[in-house]
Structure 1
């Protein structure tokens, strides 16, 4: 466990180095972004982060602002600040100028998409698990979180859970109470902007979207895959919203295959750009020689 100061905030971070025999220094680091309120970096650890490291990619996991063991300020829960947090953290970890592949689950997928649009020079691949993309989802989530905030305010549940020695459940409940009742998280979500097809068209990196067959988010995922130039949608049969917890093998195989494809495309694009730059410099030099 490590704590890193970035964007004036103390973040809880875990880094898993690539397994030595599979390590490829040319591969982007894979950075995981989790969902809202009761979620944290641990949800990725066994299902995806460990397999990703064993496949030769460095894995970086962190608790988002206010979540898990990361510091919990009263403000700054909008997507723009979250993106600043992400890139400031990467800089603090020495990854600020290195390509990254972002894996986002639920609301973390929304943040990953914002980050890719903000810094296409650094985000060279995306994997979005059940990303909420529509304004209707935001409205429903704001209503749901507001109701949860009311039920948690001055609730005896955390204390009762500790009495029953259910420490993990007690901690998650207490964190959710703090986030929903003592920060601007709900107001920041309500004020956030949603995506348009024009945003999706601007995506240039390889993109994998994974949704459960019965998820209410499939329609938005289809629209994203339709407009993103390199978007691929994978539907997992028989599942709902929480594909990260409800399945492992199929999801793991899809993500690892996408990482390999993305890394190959990134390497090819880098080689092409380097060759083009050399040819341009040679042409300029040639033009200057009498």
Structure 2
């Protein structure tokens, strides 16, 4: 574990070197989502698998989350982008990296690719979307509703009964984050991207959606905007694809990195199921096809 000072924000970072001790085949920065998410989601699903394949892996808790500091204000999207930029600079990652973003983490990845295109080799966006006016309006509704619900003890008791003690602890922590900070007000007020701004993101993008998620409806729209974007639909999944279907995500990530120039090592080097080369959403059942 490392705690780094990112322009005054104490940030919790985990950095995994390739397990074989050889120079990295690539560098992947894994960006988690909001509220109940943290770098732990990657640590127990994707991070070690990538390190075993020869990838240098950087995971960090975003501001207000996990073991990173929780300032009372400063939660617009640009603040999260500033943090990621500062992290890359602080770790001397001057060359381009692969960004893997889960949920809001993908929104951050799209934002960095628009802001610093020279720093991003590719994006794997899991149940994510760029920041648009529609996204901001949705964030306002969802964060406002979530803040109100998590302030009620009966809601937390329902989570404990229906989803278990671990989910209840995460929900309680999310409620404290919303109660103690300006996140629910700041994020919907973020600067958003125009369609032209989104279309300027020219790095390769793989967008992964659950077939039962409302975000899957944007697959054709995003492919139409981005010059190098494909979509993959994971059957039977809703928003929690990363934690509910980790084997699928692992294989998609490894195939994606291979396709985008990473000389993976170990068992991953023998993968022979490349992702489709044409546009259009592709369904995967047990892995990439």
TM-score, scaled to structure 2: 0.81
What secondary structure, in the 3-state scheme, does the structure 2 residue paired with 1:126 have? Answer: strand
Q: Which residue of 2 aligns with 1:110?
A: 107
Question: Structure 1's 183 and 247: CA in aligned 2 closer, same or farther, altered over 3 A?
Answer: same
Gaps of 5+ in 1: 266-290
Q: Distance in 2 between matches of 1:194 and 1:214?
A: 26
SS of residue paired to 1:66 = coil
More displaced stretch, 116-125 vs 168-177? 168-177
Q: Residue 229 of structure 1 aligns with which residue? A: 227
2:124 alignment counterpart: 127
* Matched residues, number: 259
Is contact 2:31–2:106 with CA below 8 Å preserved after alignment?
Answer: yes
Question: In the TM superposition, what whole-angstrom CA distance separates every residue of 1:212-244 from its partner, at most 9, and x where no partner exists?
Answer: 112101122321222211111111122112111
CA shift for structure 1 position 3: 0.9
Partner of 1:8: 8
- Residue 158 of structure 1 and its aligned partner are, at CA, apart by 8.2
TM-score (norm 1): 0.80
Deviation at 1:76, TM superposition (A): 1.4
The Cα shift of 1:131 comes to 0.5
CA contact (8 A) 1:7 1:89 kept: no
2:250 to 249, 252, 259: 252
CA distance in 1, matches of 2:135, 2:250: 26
- Aligned-pair distance for 1:67? 0.4
Bigger CA drift: 144-153 or 205-214?
Answer: 144-153
Partner of 1:206: 204
- Contact kept, 8 Å, 2:149 with 2:155, in 1: the verdict is no
Give matches, 1:97-246, under 5 Å.
97-133=94-130, 135-153=133-151, 155=153, 172-246=170-244
- Where structure 2 has 5 or more consecutive residues not aligned to the other structure, the ranges are 264-289
Contact kept in structure 1, 2:147 and 2:184, CA below 8 Å? no
Contact 1:67–1:175 (CA<8 Å) still a contact in 2? no
Give matches, 1:22-171, under 5 Å: 23-25=22-24, 27-95=25-93, 97-133=94-130, 135-153=133-151, 155=153
Residue 114 of structure 1: SS of its match in structure 2?
helix
What CA deviation, in whole Å up to 9, does each residue of 1:97-136 have, x standing for no partner?
Answer: 1221110000110011001111111111111001134544
The answer to whether the Cα contact below 8 Å between 1:7 and 1:88 also exists between their aligned partners in 2 is: yes
Give the 3-state SS of the residue equivalent to 1:115 in structure 2.
helix
Q: Which has the larger radius of gyration?
A: 1
How large is the Cα RMSD of the aligned pairs?
A: 2.6
Contact 2:38 2:66 in 1 (8 A): yes
Give the CA deviation at 1:173: 3.8
CA distance in 1, matches of 2:216, 2:121: 24
Q: Secondary structure at the match of 2:118?
A: coil
Flag the 1:156–1:2 CA change in 2: closer, same or farther, 3 A: farther
